[in-house]
């Protein structure tokens, strides 16, 4: 790698966890965070002193301080939903930007130089607004984000580079914490071509936790709202269920046990039972797979491989489903949690035109159709005009960049104005699709159908859509770049919020490890009873007094002792 080039980092901004990686010495390399771990939980919290906590420390505090901690905010990207942490209010992209900023700092400390540019991955099926919000999050974190990369494409890039095969076709099955994506890749002659992508933005590992949780609450007749501390109990239930789900990847059954207000609630779940509960979710995994296959025009039998990505593909019930659907074993020789970040680093390497990747080109598709609303003439009793029909101009799964033109004409006598509403989606009627924006312009008055207008859609590699309408008669053209829509911040708003976020006090990176331990101790203190509880309290007091003395060597020693003490509580019987 050329040292003069500022490195571009690749970031997998996940629903549950986020990772950062870089292309270095001819290969994709993951970057550890301040705790030496690759996975940084996508959690943001507000400490009592008003400073921001990101990652593991925040996740520990989800249970103890649910009012001051946020998680799963990726699900609200591109919406106006706001999350309250203490007295402060944040949008999803602001929370995401805090995670991105932490990752950026990790990368800078690892590389020993400032980082200004990043490639961030998004679910292939993310909408225009969700993509814009992700870019805004990058900007808010002080990163330049020229390109977003689709997650399954990233996974495929990682596998494509890894396998180094001459020619191969494969399907990426990417089930993350909150989103599901399928992409079909065709690798030939150094060209990595995405043939089709499909997905479900509201389906992920968290939904499997949710079905387990519902069942647990029902079986044990535990009413969270009636407990003394609903918010805390809710989070503790979540954690317990999450542990059980993870347990089920190892064994055939797991026990969820929880003490609430002195009453023990217990339920044993088997894999079989989990499978039955998850049936509706598993059904939803099929449709995108079928659609992607049809769109790619590649028969199932011609696929050389099925590749798993996303942490939720660790679940045996998901693996079995994939195995049965394809009649073959899916490949997962790369860690499904890490594969997307690695792919993002490969893309960064491509962008930096790294010598090791000179013979590699990647083309992606636009995963959804883009079009306009039209009025159809339908003949019933009398011939009448029916508005609200959808006319796609760019069909889904076309290779990008792409530019397409279609011609439309007026429907009314002496029509003076034309309104072109722009939509994204696959429905025959626009009401089933997502509204993106509109273009309104005057047209010369003529009999119906005599004024024709060419509508050109241009969609670039970064997912930016430009719509241009030209009145054929006058040659007059009108243009709109779909940039601002509901749920997306404008450039001024971004600048303004950037200043606010910059003024926030961020918990210092050097103290991350201490902070995580203290947060964990808080959680254990709340979870345990009796002797264990006292033990945790005492240990915390000792550690805090050591921290106050600010002797680095002493802190280091005390930290490892503190960690061991907490481990013993966690693995022992904290609920005795």
Partner 1 sequence: MTYWFLATLELDETVDKSTIRRAYARKLKTIDPAADPQAFQALREAYETALRWVEYADDADEEEDDPPPLATEELAGEVIAAVDSSLARDHAAPLESPAASEPDPRALAQQRYAALNRRALAVASTDQFSALMQSELDHPDLFNLRARDVFHALLVDDLFSARAHHYEWIEAAIQVFRWDADFLHNLGDPWARQELSNWLIEREVLAGRTGGQHVPEYLKRANLTTEPKKVEKRLAKAIVEALHLVRERCPTMNRYLVNPEQADKWITHYPQRAPAAPVPAAKSGNNYWWLWLFMLLPMLRHCDSGPSAPPYVHPSILSSALSEKHAVIKPSEGKIDQCEHEYEALYALLGLAQKNDTSKREWMGRCLALKNYPIPEAQHKKAQPPPRTSAQVDANK
Q: Per CB under 8 A, which of residues 129..148 are in contact with partner 1?
A: 147
With tokens 């969820």, the residue in question is 256
Active site residue 12: yes
Q: How far apart are CA 544 and CA 282, in angstroms?
A: 47
Q: How far apart are CA 398 and CA 409, in angstroms?
A: 25
Closest to partner 1 by CB, 232 or 366 = 366
| From candidates 4, 301, 503, 552, binder to partner 1 by CB under 8 A | 301
Among the listed ranges 78-86, 323-331, 337-345, 566-574, the one in contact with partner 1 (CB under 8 A) is 323-331
Q: How far apart are CA 410 and CA 47, in angstroms?
A: 60
* Contacting partner 1 within 376-415 (CB under 8 A): 376-386, 389-392, 395-396, 399-403, 406-411
Interface with partner 1 (CB under 8 A), residue total: 75
* Contacting partner 1 within 174-193 (CB under 8 A): 188-191
Range list of β-strands (E), 285-337 = 305-309
Active site residue 74: yes
* Contacting partner 1 within 42-71 (CB under 8 A): none
**Of 459, 511, 392, nearest in space to 57 by CA:** 511
Q: How far apart are CA 412 and CA 274, in angstroms?
A: 58
| From candidates 227, 335, 375, 511, binder to partner 1 by CB under 8 A | 375
Among the listed ranges 12-20, 231-239, 294-302, 543-551, the one in contact with partner 1 (CB under 8 A) is 294-302
Q: Which residue among 47, 60, 151, 373 is the active-site one?
A: 151
Active site residue 174: yes
The SS3 assignment for 434 reads strand
Does position 321 interact with partner 1 (CB under 8 A)? The reply is yes
* Contacting partner 1 within 435-454 (CB under 8 A): 448-449, 452-453
Q: How far apart are CA 103 and CA 13, in angstroms?
A: 10
Does position 481 interact with partner 1 (CB under 8 A)? The reply is no
Among the listed ranges 1-9, 10-18, 319-327, 553-561, the one in contact with partner 1 (CB under 8 A) is 319-327
With contact defined as beta carbons under 8 Å apart, do 414 and 445 qualify?
yes
| From candidates 300, 434, 464, 504, binder to partner 1 by CB under 8 A | 300
* Contacting partner 1 within 191-210 (CB under 8 A): 191
Closest to partner 1 by CB, 320 or 479 = 320
161 token code pair: 């580079």
Q: What is the phi/psi pair of residue 102, to 5°?
A: -65, -40
Give the bridge partners for 119, in sequence order. 10
Closest to partner 1 by CB, 86 or 388 = 388
Among the listed ranges 173-181, 248-256, 526-534, 541-549, the one in contact with partner 1 (CB under 8 A) is 248-256
Does position 270 interact with partner 1 (CB under 8 A)? The reply is no
Sign of the CA dihedral running 122, 125, 127, 130: negative
Q: How far apart are CA 296 and CA 194, in angstroms?
A: 9
- The 8-class DSSP code of residue 353 comes to T
Q: How far apart are CA 267 and CA 257, in angstroms?
A: 7
Catalytic residue set: 12, 74, 151, 174
């Amino acid at each position: 790698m050329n040292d003069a080039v500022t490195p571009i980092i690749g970031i997998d901004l996940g629903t549950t966890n986020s990772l950062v990686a870089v292309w270095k010495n001819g290969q994709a390399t993951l970057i550890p965070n301040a705790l030496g771990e690759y996975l940084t939980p996508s959690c943001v919290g507000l400490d009592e002193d008003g400073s921001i906590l990101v990652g593991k420390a925040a996740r520990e505090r989800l249970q103890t301080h649910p009012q001051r901690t946020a998680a799963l905010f990726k699900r609200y990207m591109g919406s106006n939903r706001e999350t309250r942490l203490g007295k402060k209010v944040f949008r999803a992209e602001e929370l995401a930007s805090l995670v991105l900023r932490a990752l950026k700092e990790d990368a800078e400390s690892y590389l020993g130089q400032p980082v200004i540019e990043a490639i961030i991955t998004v679910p292939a099926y993310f909408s225009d607004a969700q993509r814009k919000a992700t870019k805004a999050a990058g900007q808010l974190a002080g990163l330049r984000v020229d390109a977003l990369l689709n997650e399954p494409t990233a996974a495929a890039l990682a596998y494509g580079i890894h396998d180094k095969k001459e020619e191969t076709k494969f399907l990426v099955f990417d089930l993350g914490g909150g989103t599901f994506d399928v992409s079909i890749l065709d690798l030939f002659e150094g060209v990595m071509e995405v043939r089709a992508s499909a997905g479900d933005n509201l389906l992920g590992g968290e939904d499997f936790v949710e079905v387990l949780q519902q069942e647990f609450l029902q079986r044990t007749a535990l009413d969270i709202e009636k407990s003394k501390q609903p918010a805390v109990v809710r989070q503790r239930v979540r954690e317990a269920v999450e542990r059980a789900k993870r347990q089920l990847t190892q064994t055939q059954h797991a026990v969820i046990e929880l003490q609430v207000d002195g009453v023990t609630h217990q339920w044993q779940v088997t894999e079989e039972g989990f499978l039955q509960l998850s049936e509706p979710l598993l059904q939803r995994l099929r449709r995108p797979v079928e659609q992607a296959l049809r769109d790619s025009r590649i028969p199932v039998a011609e696929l050389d491989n099925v590749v798993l990505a996303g942490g939720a593909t660790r679940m045996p019930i998901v693996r079995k489903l994939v195995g049965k659907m394809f009649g073959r074993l899916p490949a997962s020789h790369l860690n499904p949690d890490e594969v997307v970040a690695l792919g993002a680093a490969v893309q960064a390497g491509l962008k930096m035109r790294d010598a090791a990747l000179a013979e590699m080109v990647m083309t992606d598709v636009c995963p959804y159709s883009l079009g306009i609303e039209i009025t159809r003439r339908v003949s019933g009793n009398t011939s009448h005009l029916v508005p609200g029909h959808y006319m796609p101009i760019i069909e889904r799964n076309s290779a990008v960049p792409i530019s397409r033109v279609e011609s439309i004409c007026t429907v009314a006598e002496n029509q003076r104005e034309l309104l072109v509403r722009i939509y994204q989606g696959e429905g025959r009627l626009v009401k089933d699709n997502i509204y993106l924006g509109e273009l309104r312009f005057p047209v010369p008055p003529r009999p119906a159908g005599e004024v024709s207008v060419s509508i050109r859609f241009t969609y670039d590699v970064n997912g930016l859509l430009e719509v241009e309408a030209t009145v054929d008669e006058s040659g007059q053209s009108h243009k709109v770049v779909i940039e601002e829509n509901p749920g997306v911040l404008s450039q001024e708003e971004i600048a303004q919020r950037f200043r606010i976020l910059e003024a926030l006090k961020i918990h210092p990176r050097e103290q991350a490890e201490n902070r995580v331990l203290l947060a964990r101790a808080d959680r254990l203190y709340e979870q345990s009873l009796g002797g264990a509880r006292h033990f945790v309290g005492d240990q915390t007091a000792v550690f805090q007094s050591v921290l106050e003395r600010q002797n680095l060597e002493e802190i280091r020693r005390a930290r490892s002792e503190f960690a061991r003490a907490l481990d013993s509580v966690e693995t022992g019987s904290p609920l005795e």
